[in-house]
Amino acid sequence: MKTPETLSGEMMEKILEKRSLPSWVKKLDSWTVYAPRKDENERWNYDIAGSDSVGLDFTVTTLPAKALIFPQREIFLEFLKTAAENRETLEVKEVLPGEKPVVIFGVRPCDAKAISLLDKVFSGDFVDPYYWTRRKQTILVGLACGTPPWENCFCLSTEGSPHSEEGLDILLTDLGDRYFVKTLTENGEKLVNRAKDLFKEPRPEDKKKVKAVHAEAEKKIVRGIKGVKKDLAAKLRGMFDSPLWDEESMSCLRCGICTYLCPSCHCFDINDEVDSVSPLHGKRVRTWDNCQFPDFTMHSSGHNPRPDKASRLRQRLFHKFQYFVETYDKIMCTGCGRCVSLCPVGIDIIKVLDKVSDHGS
Amino acid sequence: MAEEFEPKIVAFLCKWCSSAGSDMAGVSRMEYPPNVVPIQVMCSGSVSPLYIFSAFNKGADGVLVSGCHPGDCHYIKGNYYARRRIHLVKKLLEFIGLEPQRFQMSWVSAAEATKYTQVIKEFVKELKPLGPQTKLRRNP
Amino acid sequence: MDHNVYIPKLAKIIQIKEEVGGARAIKTFRTVFTNGHGFDHRCGQCAMLSVFGKGESMISISSSPLVKDYLQFSILKMGRVTSALHEMEVGDLIGIRGPYGNGFPLDRWKGKKLLFIGGGIGLAPIWSVLQTALANKGEYGDLTLIYGARTSKDIVFKEELADLKNKMTVFLSIDVAEPGWEEFVGFVPQNVLDKKPAPANTIAITCGPPIMIKFVIKALKDLTFEDQQIYTTVENKMKCGIGKCGRCNIGLHYVCKDGPVYSWAELKRLPQEY
Amino acid sequence: MAKIEDLKEEARKLLREGKIKYIIGYGTGSNGWMAGPVFIKNPEDVDKLVWDPTCVHNLSRFLVDEKRRKAREKQPDKRPVGIFVKGCDSRAIVVLLQEKFIERNDVYILGISCENGGVVDEHKLTRKLKGEKPKKIELSDNGQFVVTTGNGKVEFPVGELLAERCLECQANFPVISDILSGEKTKRPPEKPFGSIEKMERLSQADRWRFWKEQLNKCIRCYACRSVCPMCYCDECVVDSINLAVSADTTAEEKANKVKWVQRSAESSENFVYHFVRAIHLAGRCIDCGECERACPLDIPIRFLNKKLEKEAKELFGYEVGFDPAQPSLISSFKDEDPGDFIR
């Protein structure tokens, strides 16, 4: 940002009238602002927010905020082969995402917490430059859940909550005609400073009301996993060869809904896309991939370590509730409920995990 | 004078009739627009809809499938199968809003060199006002 | 952001040797990085080779780290990328990124006898550690190689194996008898049982098709080798090579980053999904 | 009234006598008010079977999995599989029989007639209930949908909640079955292709703008292909990744497989994928509507198949899924097929 602002860095609490939200968005002109927009089928998805139509009375976006930071398609590099005086030259050009500061409004706490999980995956001893170029330019403005978007929410079972702050720069809580604004990072503070005059100091009853709204939201969550993180991981370790996976995956259709729409799933494929053959010109592109497709692990010899649906359902649960737990001590699931609600045949990981907890006891 | 738009046409020509017809046109030094990229196929019945969609995907401004007149097919029934399949492809492409002129089918026998040049001339004339095909094209 | 892990360095092919012809063709490539900056590697590490327009393929580096002036890859023609490599000529440019994987812990094997057991293209990952051990022979016990292939035509490094015979013990085998073949006839695991290597103070390293590895390990166990004396490489499908894309994930490990070299003691505890 | 009880009785008998391997039916779902597929192996579990207007799935899709599983087993159990089918699902079985994908004695068909009901459209119901969560839905005797929600029951005329495919349904009761429950009510739709006629009347520019925006949303999760009983190819020509590789597939075959479509979900690639799928379903799609229901982005891909179904009927007089002996649309022709569009 142009002028170096002095940022206190501590957490600020403000009040923003709902009707001033569009003018706040209008002030954020040096960012591309995304907000949920409803399509004709009552489904919500992020779209560039026209400053007049910004509204946050949405339930949950079908595609999580992950899709704006880890997009379905990411160009890695461009290659061009030119024949110059009988010698072939091959030029390989890195293509990093451009300079595009982004603010995403209406990020549910479960989606934001999932992004903090992705931050772990894409760092470590090999840092992913494409993810981080976008991640560093993205500011997440969360909206705490008043009522759970659908009855399959289970964030309380994955060490999260309808008002968790992990991964967010600002957390808004809907108090009816106003938002309780809580800045959590310097980026959050920067956004509030950009339209200081719109924000007011919170009254004591606002603070009380926020706690009430948060507590109320927690009580409304009806579904949850019986097992606790450590016990589930231990139970799963002993159930690799259990018949449970075959029974529960009988109706699986091997599609990509549960993983593409999962806010924490990050598996991908890398392919070359050829635009012209001679002279050879094309791009190396990353696209989403997922462990439920049959050929995800197939060797070019045809040997496939995970040949059937049972082994693939097992992989989805083991990776999220055992491998990731034993590597990062965090569950790679934030209980957003998308895979449970949108699976065409109703495979329900809450039910499967409860069967894991009941196994052998 | 602004460079006039020259449409690129991918034409699937049946080897026994239409391709022979186009050879005849060439041998007889007939004048006709050079916009066609001919692809010789064994029979119009062997033209898979995937080839047609792929041609548009790769930037063709127009696609032509040309085979033998009903009854002339070297394999007896190939062109009858093609007639049904290509008709469905044409209806599908129109349904999603592609300009109907961009996808044509014709019967051209080995002797009809003049008809072949006529079909191409008309096709080019119809495509010119439409400009380049950008709808289904893969953007580089 | 420092160097982008996904961008390969350009390398020129300086030599191509056809090891095996026919449908299961194997060629050995020697490559040199074009604008100087390459990378050093350890025995048993791999590199992601890029044929632009076709894709990438993880191939083990078969030259020893002591060889500085080229990187050597022996490649079995298997799919899209490897077939494209087989059509390349000397002077063509490819992309190489790496080195990836943990490699063989050679320095932990000082003073031990080394028993190499390879099958078909499996000799390629073994070759880098074998050549390195051979180069400082004094630091290790005696070296033995048991290597087999389907037919005599399918044997790789034919010339190198010939002169290797007067430097260390080499037992070869082919699956089916051929006229003029005096050595062992049968599968590699049977050859191992036939030769009965003694497990005392020995490390066994085996690479080859998964089915062969399974029976070689069984044979070694029958010969009372301990789990931590047996090492192998896991050849899972790999795409990113840096433990992110999920393909080669077994248990807590990403084979491309935490493997591909495992002792049987470690591999036994991982889920049997490879 | 179609009574599930008599079908359950039959199911228990079949399982007890070991006449069938297992039963593919509908059971109460755990992730909401929709029913879900269940697989019943032993007679005591038959009580799990339900029948109500949320049984939307086309269970004949699981006959494809059954065939794949049998192909992998060394000594496959050749007994038939029991399967619950509605009118539309039964037509899918007719097409699978027509294409010799399954044999008649592979399946024991327990048919249920929708009579003057059908299945509900999820969106229509949630829109009507304005946020209220439905608990249970039944078809009443006088042809109303009775929806029980948190606070009491509310009734809706059938037409307001029915899925589009049911409004245009051509087979209220199964056309093929071993046992049938419910009346064979004939209720021909007044406008069998009403939904797409509206689309056809749009201008070419509007149609393009609609389809460009819709197919741009596609993330290629392949749910539409996975849920479709007709999409049973082991290797999909338009999927550049999946390859039916066996031990003797040569390197050339793998190397030379043409990448017709890139894996990126760019709209140009999505168009080719959805076009090829629509053409491959011409004369085979029986409009069970599952592709559109499964799509997480609600892309109206059913329209593409419905359009080709309409053309097949109007141009070639071809009707899908009523006669297993009928030749397929694409590999048959008539001398009088229209050719006026040919120059």
Q: Please tell me if residue D36 touches chain A, with a CB cutoff of 8 Å.
A: yes
Residue C23 pLDDT:
86
Longest dimension (CA), chain C: 61
User: Which of D241, D242, D245, D250 would best serve as a mutation to test chain C binding (most C beta carbons within 10 A)?
Assistant: D250
Residues D237, D93 share a domain: no
Residues D227, D179 share a domain: no
User: Which of A76, A88, A90 would best serve as a mutation to test chain C binding (most C beta carbons within 10 A)?
Assistant: A90
For residue A345, give the nearest of D57, D241, D262 by CB distance: D57
Residue D234: phi and psi, rounded to 5, are: -70, -30
Among the listed residues A353, A260, A347, A252, the one whose alpha carbon sits nearest the alpha carbon of residue A306:
A252
Q: Residues D243, A304: contact at Cβ < 8 Å?
A: no
For residue B42, is it within any domain? yes
Residue contacts between B and D (CB atoms, under 8 Å) = 110
For residue B139, is it within any domain? no
Taking the C-alpha atoms of residue A261 and residue D316, their distance in angstroms, rounded to an integer, is 41
| Chain D: residue whose CA lies nearest to A223 | D31
For residue C247, give the nearest of A125, A271, A296 by CB distance: A296
Verify whether the Cβ–Cβ distance D245 to A43 is below 8 Å: no
Residues D112, D19 share a domain: yes
Count of domains for chain A = 1
Chain B residues in contact with D303 (beta carbon < 8 A):
95
Verify whether the Cβ–Cβ distance C245 to A301 is below 8 Å: no
Residues D235, D178 share a domain: no
Q: Please tell me if residue A350 touches chain D, with a CB cutoff of 8 Å.
A: yes
For residue D148, is it within any domain? no
Beta strands C143-149 and C113-119, pairing class: parallel
User: Which of A260, A267, A271, A287 would best serve as a mutation to test chain C binding (most C beta carbons within 10 A)?
Assistant: A267
Residue D39's domain comprises 1-120+168-190
Residue ranges of the alpha helices (H) in chain D? 4-16, 61-72, 87-98, 122-129, 158-161, 164-167, 194-200, 204-216, 223-227, 251-255, 267-280, 290-294, 302-316
For residue D221, give the nearest of A152, A260, A271 by CB distance: A260
Higher-scoring residue by pLDDT: A304, B3: A304
| Cβ count within 10 A of residue A20 | 18
Strands across the sheet containing C261-263: C184-185, C169-174, C143-149, C113-119, C202-207, C230-233, C261-263
Verify whether the Cβ–Cβ distance C236 to A299 is below 8 Å: yes
Residues D55, D15 share a domain: yes
Q: How confident is the model at residue A254 (pLDDT cuts 50, 70, 90)?
A: very high
User: Which of D258, D261, D268 would best serve as a mutation to test chain B binding (most B beta carbons within 10 A)?
Assistant: D268
Verify whether the Cβ–Cβ distance C53 to A282 is below 8 Å: yes
Residue A2 pLDDT greater than 50, yes or no: no
Min CA distance, C196 vs chain D (Å)? 32
Count of domains for chain B = 1
Span C31-57, pLDDT tens digits = 999 987 788 999 999 999 999 999 999
| Chain D: residue whose CA lies nearest to B97 | D208
A284-312 average pLDDT score: 92
A292-314 average pLDDT score: 92
Chains A and C touch (3+ CB pairs under 8 A): yes
| Chain D: residue whose CA lies nearest to C80 | D255
For residue B140, is it within any domain? no
Q: Please tell me if residue C82 touches chain D, with a CB cutoff of 8 Å.
A: yes
Of the candidate ranges C144-148, C264-268, D186-190, the one whose mean pLDDT is the lowest: D186-190
* % pLDDT > 90, chain D: 72
> Structure tokens of D80?
């038939």
Span A16-47, pLDDT tens digits = 999 999 999 999 999 999 999 988 878 899 99
Q: Please tell me if residue B53 touches chain D, with a CB cutoff of 8 Å.
A: yes
Residue A256 pLDDT greater than 90, yes or no: yes
Asked if omega into A202 is within 30° of 0 (cis), the reply is no
Among the listed residues C66, C55, C62, C65, the one whose alpha carbon sits nearest the alpha carbon of residue C27:
C62
Residues D66, D182 share a domain: yes
Q: Which residues are paired to C16 by β-bridges?
A: C29
Chains C and B touch (3+ CB pairs under 8 A): no
DSSP letters spanning D81-106: EEEEE-HHHHHHHHHHHHTTSS-GGG
Chain D residues in contact with B114 (beta carbon < 8 A):
none
Residue D3 pLDDT:
80
Residue A255's domain comprises 12-358
Verify whether the Cβ–Cβ distance A295 to D34 is below 8 Å: no
For residue D94, is it within any domain? yes
Verify whether the Cβ–Cβ distance C249 to A315 is below 8 Å: yes
For residue D208, give the nearest of B70, B97, B104 by CB distance: B97
For residue A3, is it within any domain? no
Span B84-132, pLDDT tens digits = 999 999 999 999 999 999 999 999 999 999 999 999 999 999 999 999 9
For residue B138, is it within any domain? no
| Cβ count within 10 A of residue D30 | 16
Q: Which residues are paired to A34 by β-bridges?
A: A48, A104
Verify whether the Cβ–Cβ distance C79 to D250 is below 8 Å: no
C141-161 average pLDDT score: 94
Residue A70 pLDDT:
97
The beta strands (E) that lie in B5-127 are given as 9-14, 36-41, 62-67, 103-107
Among the listed residues D35, D22, D42, the one whose alpha carbon sits nearest the alpha carbon of residue D83:
D22
Q: Tokens 């026994």, residue?
A: B16
Our measurement of the distance from residue D34's CA atom to the centroid of its chain's CA atoms, rounded to an integer in Å, reads 16
For residue B114, is it within any domain? yes
Residue A338 pLDDT greater than 80, yes or no: yes
For A244, counting Cβ atoms within 10 Å of its Cβ (0-12 exposed, 13-18 middle, 19+ buried), the class is middle
What separation in angstroms does the CA of D20 have from each of A23, A157, C102, D40, D79?
A: 67, 41, 53, 11, 5
Higher-scoring residue by pLDDT: A211, A39: A211
Residues 6 or more apart in contact with residue C133 via CB below 8 angstroms: C106, C114, C139, C140, C143
For residue A223, is it within any domain? yes
The 3-class secondary structure across chain C, one letter per residue, is CCCCCCCCEEEEEEEEEEEECCCCCEEEEEEEECCCCCCCCCCCCEEEEEECCCEEEEEECCCCCCCCCCEEEEEECCCHHHHHHHCCCCCCEEEEEEEECCCCCHHHHCCCEEEEEEEHHHHHHHHHHHHHHHHCHHHCCCEEEEEEECCHHHCCCHHHHHHHCCCCEEEEEECCCCCCCCCEECCHHHHHHHHCCCCCCEEEEEECCHHHHHHHHHHHHHCCCCHHHEEEECCCCCCCCCCCCCCCEECCEEHHHHCCEEEHHHHHHCCCCC
Residues D316, D228 share a domain: yes
Span C199-233, pLDDT tens digits = 999 999 999 998 999 999 999 999 999 999 999 99
Verify whether the Cβ–Cβ distance C84 to D255 is below 8 Å: yes
Could you give the ipTM of this predicted complex? Answer: 0.94
Q: Please tell me if residue A351 touches chain D, with a CB cutoff of 8 Å.
A: yes
Chain A residues in contact with C235 (beta carbon < 8 A):
299
Min CA distance, D78 vs chain C (Å)? 30
Min CA distance, A196 vs chain D (Å)? 36
Residues D116, D240 share a domain: no
Residue A4 pLDDT:
58
Count of domains for chain D = 2
Chain B residues in contact with D206 (beta carbon < 8 A):
97
Chain B residues in contact with D205 (beta carbon < 8 A):
97
Verify whether the Cβ–Cβ distance D243 to A343 is below 8 Å: no
> Structure tokens of A172?
């808004």
| Chain B: residue whose CA lies nearest to D208 | B97
Residue contacts between C and D (CB atoms, under 8 Å) = 17
* % pLDDT > 90, chain C: 91
Taking the C-alpha atoms of residue D164 and residue D119, their distance in angstroms, rounded to an integer, is 9
Span C89-145, pLDDT tens digits = 999 999 999 999 999 999 999 999 999 999 999 999 999 999 999 998 899 999 999
Q: Residues C115, C130: contact at Cβ < 8 Å?
A: no
Residue B40's domain comprises 9-130
Residue A1 pLDDT greater than 60, yes or no: no
Ordered by where they begin, the domains of chain C are 9-100 (2.40.30.10), 106-233 (3.40.50.80)
For residue C236, give the nearest of A305, A319, A323 by CB distance: A305
Residue B116 pLDDT:
96
Taking the C-alpha atoms of residue D57 and residue C236, their distance in angstroms, rounded to an integer, is 36
The H or E element containing residue A12 is: strand A12-17
Q: Residues D182, D5: contact at Cβ < 8 Å?
A: no
For residue D24, is it within any domain? yes
Chain C residues in contact with D253 (beta carbon < 8 A):
none
Residue C1 pLDDT:
43
> Structure tokens of A207?
């603070």
Residue contacts between A and C (CB atoms, under 8 Å) = 115
For residue D155, is it within any domain? no
User: Which of C27, C51, C83 would best serve as a mutation to test chain D binding (most D beta carbons within 10 A)?
Assistant: C83
CA atoms lying within 13 Å on the CB side of residue A159: 14
Residue B2 pLDDT:
63
Span B48-59, pLDDT tens digits = 999 999 999 999
For residue D257, is it within any domain? yes
Min CA distance, C23 vs chain D (Å)? 7
CATH number at residue B89: 3.40.50.960
For residue D226, give the nearest of A62, A72, A253 by CB distance: A253
A167-191 average pLDDT score: 95
What separation in angstroms does the CA of D156 have from each of A109, A342, C64, C153?
A: 37, 25, 77, 77
Chain A residues in contact with D294 (beta carbon < 8 A):
253, 255, 257, 344
Chains D and A touch (3+ CB pairs under 8 A): yes
**DSSP classification of residue A201:** P
For residue B120, is it within any domain? yes
| Chain A: residue whose CA lies nearest to C254 | A323
Residue C36 pLDDT:
74
What separation in angstroms does the CA of A168 have from each of A49, A135, C145, D247?
A: 19, 12, 58, 50
For residue D139, is it within any domain? no
Residue B44 pLDDT:
96
For residue A72, is it within any domain? yes
Verify whether the Cβ–Cβ distance B97 to D330 is below 8 Å: no
For residue A294, is it within any domain? yes
- D 75-134 near A (Cβ less than 8 A): 123, 126-127, 133
Of the candidate ranges C143-152, D117-126, D225-234, the one whose mean pLDDT is the lowest: D117-126
A132-158 average pLDDT score: 94
Of the candidate ranges A272-286, C239-253, D83-97, D114-128, the one whose mean pLDDT is the lowest: D114-128
For residue B4, is it within any domain? no
The identity of residue C30, as a single letter, is: R
